[in-house]
Amino acid sequence: MKPEQYDAWYATQRGAWIGGEEYRLLDSLLAPTPGETLLDVGCGTGYFTRRFAANLANGNVVGADIDPDMLRFADGHSDRSIGFVAADARQLPFRDKSFDLVVSVTALCFIQNEKQALSEMLRVARRRVVLGLLNRHSLLHFSKGRNGGLGAYRGARWHTHAEALRLFNGLPMCHAGLGTVIVMPGGKRWSRRLEPTLRRWLPGCGAFIAVAADVLQDQRP
């Protein structure tokens, strides 16, 4: 999909609602403090990178992506203070513990060898890693995720809660939170209104899972 087309979706009524709900969940799990630094892995057109940067006064925010077209778009539509870097998530060109926060939004689900990508995110993170994933136990999976996926979901890997949590197994990290949003993915006015109630009735059935884990600090003297 062309970056212009991808980013334009966030300006539609449905896209703005979904993007806003996802951002709020990610932000609550990141719990950033002013001045913290953040890396957005698989940043695409930079929609979330720009929102994170707006919330991190004086922080150093960088987006990384493997697709040069996505990066060109992101760079051309973002404030100069945000850096954009061409990088493969499985081999990030940053030193250990370069960023306080590392976030990756619906990118890991398109990356082969997700364990390696996650290890790299952990390597460059000082405090917390937050992943945005697609929930296999959701209405969105039923409508867009089956048989290889439709449209922008083609080729995506969908996770269950348990699988999302298991991603951190064997890594020096401790669980810091999990949430889901977008129970009714159609985005119509009535479903948007019902969303908070549905989230209480059907906890864990939102199409977007965000899971957070903290980097275990080295206890050696």
Ligand X SMILES: C[S@@+](CC[C@H](N)C(=O)[O-])C[C@H]1O[C@@H](n2cnc3c(N)ncnc32)[C@H](O)[C@@H]1O
Binding site for ligand X (CB under 6 A): 42-44, 47-48, 65-67, 70, 88-90, 105-107, 110-111
**Are the C-beta atoms of residues 25 and 210 closer than 8 Å to each other?**
yes
Q: Tokens 């925010």 identify what position? A: 61
Q: How far is the CB of 149 from ligand X (least distance, A)?
A: 11
Report in angstroms how near the CB of residue 48 gets to ligand X at its nearest: 6
Q: Are β-strands 38-41 and 99-105 bridged in parallel, bridged antiparallel, or unpaired?
A: parallel
Compute the least distance from the CB of residue 215 to ligand X, in Å: 20
- State how far the Cα of 133 lies from the Cα of 182, in Å rounded to an integer: 12
- Pick between residue 43 and residue 164 the one whose CB is nearest to ligand X: 43
CA–CA separation, 41 vs 81, rounded Å? 17
Comparing CB distances to ligand X, the nearer of 59 and 132 is 132
Between 134 and 139, whose beta carbon lies closer to ligand X? 134
Q: Which helix (H) or strand (E) holds 210?
A: strand 208-215
Instruction: Rank residues 25 and 70 by Cβ distance to ligand X and give the closer one.
Output: 70
**Cβ-based nearer residue to ligand X, 66 or 171:** 66
Cα separation, 3 vs 190, in Å, equals 30
Q: What is the nearest approach in angstroms of ligand X to the Cβ of residue 51? A: 10
Contacts of 73 (CB under 8 A, 6+ apart): 3, 4, 7, 45, 46
Q: How far is the CB of 108 from ligand X (least distance, A)?
A: 8
Q: What are phi and psi of 126, to 5 degrees?
A: -100, -35
Give the span between the Cα atoms of 86 and 92, in whole angstroms: 9
The residue of the chain with the least Cβ separation from ligand X equals 44
The least distance separating ligand X from the CB of residue 145, rounded to whole angstroms, comes to 13
Q: Is 5 left (phi over 0), alpha (psi -120 to 50) or beta?
A: alpha
Q: Which residue's CB is nearer to ligand X, number 43 or number 212?
A: 43
